[in-house]
DNA sequence: CGTTAGCCCTGCTGGC
DNA sequence: TGCCAGCAGGGCTAAC
């Protein structure tokens, strides 16, 4: 499931490939990806636009266009975004939803098995309101223990639910919430507002360290995730806790447990996480 | 306002 | 071996 580390990996890989290129053509095999905008209108608004820069906000990949608009892509559960220089090198048409063609400069292919992924075009005035709904960027310096403490204060919901709420912190999903909580040695069911100052500091550091390590390993490929070159990530090879139910905890040797929190499968060590 | 349940969707898994 | 209900979950909306 593409979360912040996966989207950031793709952003870094695509940056040099797409920046400065002009969109030549748009093909939309599955109109649900651009809905509610009809495919024709979507293509018309993109053709001729130049990619000025690639940025990321939470789990959104943002292609900044000349003229001030923006193409915003969200991969949701099973979205895969790859770049190929030669159109015909892509023989895999399975689950293909959207192709953005840069003429002789290659093409961007958006595939999505479960069809939750989206691509939207934002006008300049729509950009700020759209992203203002999102919470803090966890890898920015401004994401400090103090800021996190203020955000957690007086909230009663389970920490796990808090961490995956995109309006609080943007970019953390199910995998990295579990891994960060294990690293911080805090139980996923603890009420968000119940953490001590020391625990908030640990959680802050754990979030940053977990995300940074995952980016350094090109993200996690459990099932469908691939980077922009079509390669698997490697962070799943060093999962400490996620998807390890029944296995020994890497910290104490006890047994990793799985519970449901807010409808999400949640993995933790009852001995290490208090 | 804070929080949660249900929905979207398709492919895989597990039980019989 | 074959079948199919159930599960997976990010983000949105409705509802409490």
Q: What is residue A18's predicted lDDT score, i.e. its pLDDT?
A: 95
CB less than 7 Å from strand B: which protein residues?
Answer: A 32, 77, 95, 113-116, 155-158, 161, 192, 262-263
Share of chain A above pLDDT 90, in %: 74
What is the per-residue pLDDT for A94?
Answer: 82
User: A205-208, long-range: CB within 8 Å, 24+ apart, which pairs?
Assistant: A206/A180, A206/A181, A207/A138, A207/A143, A207/A163, A207/A169, A207/A172, A207/A176, A207/A180, A208/A138, A208/A139, A208/A143
- Predicted local distance difference test score (pLDDT) of residue A87: 66
pLDDT score at A105: 78
What value does the mean pLDDT take over residues A137-155?
93
Domain architecture of chain A: domains with CATH: 4-132 (3.20.190.10), 145-268 (1.10.8.50)
pLDDT at A91 over 60: no
Q: What value does the mean pLDDT of chain A take? A: 91
The pLDDT assigned to A74 comes to 93
Residues 1-30 of A with CB under 7 A from strand C: 1, 3
Tell me if residue A3 is catalytic: yes
User: Percent of chain A having pLDDT more than 70?
Assistant: 98
Instruction: State yes or no: pLDDT of A25 exceeds 90.
Output: yes
What's the pLDDT score for residue A90? 55
Q: Output the CA–CA distances (angstroms, integers) from residue A124 to A60, A64, A67, A142, in the order listed.
A: 16, 10, 8, 25
Instruction: Measure the CA–CA gap between A56 and A144, rounded to whole angstroms.
Output: 20
Which protein residue has its CA closest to C1' of B2?
A: A155
- Residue A51 CB partners (closer than 8 Å, separation 6+): A18, A19, A20, A21, A22, A23, A63, A64, A65
Tell me which residues from 82 to 141 on chain A have a beta carbon below 7 angstroms from nucleic acid strand C: 114, 116, 133
Structure tokens at A41: 């209108």
The pTM for the full model equals 0.94
Q: Measured between alpha carbons, how far is A189 from A92 in angstroms, rounded to an integer? A: 42
Residue A246 Cβ < 7 Å to strand C:
no
- Nucleotides of chain B in contact with protein CB (under 7 A) are 2-11
> In sequence order, what DSSP letters do the residues of A21-66 get, joined into one string?
-B--EEE-S-GGGTTTS-HHHHHHHHTT-BEEEEEEETTEEEEEET
Q: How far from A179 is each of A8, A140, A241, A266, CA to CA, in Å?
A: 18, 19, 6, 10
Place of tokens 């909230």: A155
pLDDT band, very low/low/confident/very high, at A154 (cuts 50, 70, 90): confident
> Residue range A148-161: average pLDDT?
91
- What is the DSSP code string of A188-227? TTSBGGG--HHHHHHHHHHHHHHHHHHHHTT---SSS---
| pLDDT classification of A64: cutoffs 50, 70, 90 | very high
C1' of nucleotide B9: residue with nearest CA: A114
Q: Which nucleotides of C are covered by protein (CB under 7 A)?
A: 7-12
Q: Which residue in the list A45, A59, A97, A244 is annotated as catalytic? A: A59
Sign of the alpha-carbon dihedral angle for A46, A215, A187, A258: positive
When computed from its CA atoms, the radius of gyration of chain A, rounded to whole angstroms, is: 20
Q: How confident is the model at residue A88 (pLDDT cuts 50, 70, 90)?
A: low
Question: Does A264 qualify as catalytic in the annotation?
Answer: yes
Average pLDDT over residues A162-178: 93
Q: What is the pLDDT of residues A95-112, one digit of tens each?
A: 899 999 998 879 999 999
Confidence bin at A204 (pLDDT 50/70/90):
very high
Please determine, for residue A176, whether its predicted confidence score (pLDDT) is greater than 70. yes
């Amino acid at each position: 499931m593409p979360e912040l580390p996966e989207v950031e990996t793709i952003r870094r890989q695509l940056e040099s490939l797409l920046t400065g290129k002009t969109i030549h053509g748009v093909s939309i095999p599955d109109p649900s990806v651009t809905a509610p905008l009809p495919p024709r209108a979507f293509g018309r608004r993109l053709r001729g636009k130049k990619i000025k820069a690639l940025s990321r906000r939470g789990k959104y990949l943002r292609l900044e266009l000349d003229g001030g608009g923006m193409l915003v892509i969200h991969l949701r559960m099973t979205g895969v975004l790859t770049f190929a220089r030669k159109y015909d090198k892509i023989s895999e048409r399975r689950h293909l939803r959207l192709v953005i063609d840069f003429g002789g400069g290659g093409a961007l292919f958006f595939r999505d098995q479960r069809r939750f992924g989206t691509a939207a075009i934002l006008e300049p005035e729509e950009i700020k309101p759209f992203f203002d709904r999102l919470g803090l960027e966890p890898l920015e310096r401004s994401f400090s223990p103090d800021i996190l403490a203020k955000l957690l204060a007086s909230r009663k919901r389970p920490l796990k639910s808090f961490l995956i709420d995109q309006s609080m912190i943007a970019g953390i999903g199910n995998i990295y919430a579990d891994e960060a909580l294990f690293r911080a040695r805090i139980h996923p069911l603890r009420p968000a507002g119940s953490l001590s100052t020391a625990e908030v500091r640990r959680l802050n550091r754990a979030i940053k360290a977990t995300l940074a390590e995952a980016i350094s390993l090109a993200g996690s490929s459990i099932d469908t995730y691939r980077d922009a070159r079509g390669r698997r990530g490697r962070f799943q090879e060093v999962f400490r806790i996620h998807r390890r139910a029944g296995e020994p905890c890497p910290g104490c040797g006890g047994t990793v447990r799985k519970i449901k929190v807010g409808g999400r499968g949640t993995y933790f060590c009852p001995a290490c996480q208090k």
